[in-house]
């Protein structure tokens, strides 16, 4: 069931709050997997339904390919969270989030780079 615009915004606020809590506690410099696990845990603690490493099949014409693509965290079956811990976000990272959103028909996505002094600088929001 699709969330309303207001519900998506409220959920986004909770996701961002949890993300900031994780970053404040851990700081930059860890592996992506550490941030992903901790964020998943914080979302679960908040009562938010999320799936970790959600498989993303590729459908080309009549062929469904299980290529091993995985969304880091899918929140409430509607919001894509792609977690990174890199020196800088690149165009390929942005394209990855947009591709997942397009293939899964998701309207909202976040690219989060936890390897920043201020997490605010590492979050990019995407809307389709």
Q: What is the pLDDT of residue 62?
A: 84
Q: What is the pLDDT of residue 120?
A: 96
pLDDT at 68 over 80: no
Q: What's the predicted TM-score (pTM) here?
A: 0.94
- In 3D, which of 90, 72, 88 has the Cα closest to residue 80? 72
Confidence of residue 63 (pLDDT cuts 50, 70, 90): confident
The more confident residue out of 58 and 120 is 120
| Burial of 15 (C-beta count, 10 Å sphere; 0-12/13-18/19+) | buried
Mean pLDDT of 46-71: 89
């Amino acid at each position: 069931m699709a969330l309303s615009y207001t519900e998506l915004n409220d959920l986004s606020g909770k996701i961002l709050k949890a993300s900031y809590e994780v970053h404040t506690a851990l700081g930059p410099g860890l592996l992506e997997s550490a941030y992903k696990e901790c964020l998943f845990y914080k979302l679960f603690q908040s009562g938010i339904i999320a799936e970790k490493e959600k498989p993303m099949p590729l459908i080309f014409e009549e062929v469904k390919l299980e290529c091993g693509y995985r969304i880091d965290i899918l929140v409430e079956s509607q919001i894509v969270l792609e977690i990174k811990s890199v020196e800088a976000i690149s165009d390929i990272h942005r394209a990855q989030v947009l591709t997942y959103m397009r293939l899964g028909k998701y309207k909202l996505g976040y690219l989060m780079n936890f390897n920043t002094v201020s997490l605010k600088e590492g979050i990019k929001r995407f809307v389709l």
